[in-house]
Structure 1
Amino acid sequence: MVDKFVGTWKMISSDNFDDYMKALGVGFATRQMGNMAKPSLSFSVDDQGLICMRSQSTFKTTEVKFKLGEEFEEVTADDRKTKTTFTLDNGKLIQKQCWDGKETTLEREISDGKLVAKCSIGKVTAVRTYMKEA
C-alpha cells in the first residue's frame, strides 16, 4: 500500500517546475515563490486508512486527507479549486486534479530510496526529487 511513502521527505532537486506552473496558469509572483520554496513532504496514515499528505515550506503549508479512489475537493497551494483523486498503480501514488476543463497528474514513486514526483500537464512535465529525513 502507501506504507513506503510514510515519513517526511525533504526536496533535493526540482526540474522544469517554472514551466509546469506556467502551464497550470500560475501567476508570476506565485511562481517566483514556488521556485524558491524547498518544501518537505510528509505522509501518514490513520487507523481508518485515511492518508494525510502535508507539504510544508517557508511560504506555505498545505495538507490534504484522502482515501484511495475517492474524489474530493482540494484547494491547491496556488489556490486552484480542483476535484482530486488519488490512486495506487504499480507502486506509484497517482494524484489527478481536474478544474476548469483542465487536468494535471502528479505521479509519485519511490526509486533508489528517493521519492520522485513527476508533475504533468499537457506536454509539460516537472520532476521533483525528495530524500527521506532520518
Structure 2
Amino acid sequence: MPPNLTGYYRFVSQDNMDNYLRALDINVALRKLVCLLKPDKEIIHTGDHMTIRTITSLRNYVMDFDLGIEFEEDLGPVDGRKCQTTVSWEEDQLVCEQRGEKRNRGWRHWLEGDLLHLRMTAEDEVCVQIFQKVK
C-alpha cells in the first residue's frame, strides 16, 4: 500500500536546478531567481485524489489531480507550456509523466523518514530537491 504523503514540508536543499531550468528553456534571469527560491510543499492526499501546492515568495503553483487519470496540465506559471500529465504510484513513489514538447519530462516524490524527496527530469537533466516534514 502506498504511503500517505499528506503534510507540510519545508525546503532543505536542491541540486542541479539551473541545468534543469535550462533544459526547459527558461531565460537566464528567471533561472537565477528561481534558484534562489526555497519553496515549501503542502500535500493533501485523500484516497485517489491529491493536491500538491508549491509555495514560494515569487508565486505558488497548485496541482490538483486524480491518481491514474490523464489530464491537461497548464504549466504556464512554470514555463508557459501545457502537457498531458498522469500521476500514479510505482511501489512507494508517486510518479508523474508530463507528455508534451519536452522529452523525458516528469517528477517523482518519495519519503525517507520525515524527508520528502522530489526528483524532476526534463530532457537529460535531473534536479533533486529535499523537504523536511514539519506538520
Please indicate, yes or no, whether the TM-score normalized by the shorter chain is above 0.5.
yes
- Give 1:31's aligned amino acid: R
Unpaired runs of at least 5, structure 1: none
Return closer, same or farther for 1:45/1:112 CA change in 2, 3 Å cut-off.
closer
Match of 2:104 in 1: 103
CA contact (8 A) 1:30 1:78 kept: no
* Per-residue deviation, 1:8: 0.8
Aligned residues between the structures: 133
Asked whether 1:59 is paired with 2:38, we answer no
CA contact (8 A) 1:4 1:110 kept: no
Matches within 5 A, 1:35-50: 35-46=35-46, 49-50=48-49
What secondary structure does 2:4 align onto?
A: helix
Match of 1:89 in 2: 90
Match of 1:22 in 2: 22
Partner Cα separation in structure 2 for residue 29 and residue 85 of structure 1: 30
* Per-residue deviation, 1:103: 3.4
- Give 1:55's aligned amino acid: T
Partner Cα separation in structure 1 for residue 21 and residue 102 of structure 2: 17
Unpaired runs of at least 5, structure 2: none
Match of 2:31 in 1: 31
* Per-residue deviation, 1:121: 2.3
What secondary structure does 1:19 align onto?
A: helix
CA RMSD of aligned residues (A): 1.8
Partner Cα separation in structure 2 for residue 51 and residue 70 of structure 1: 12
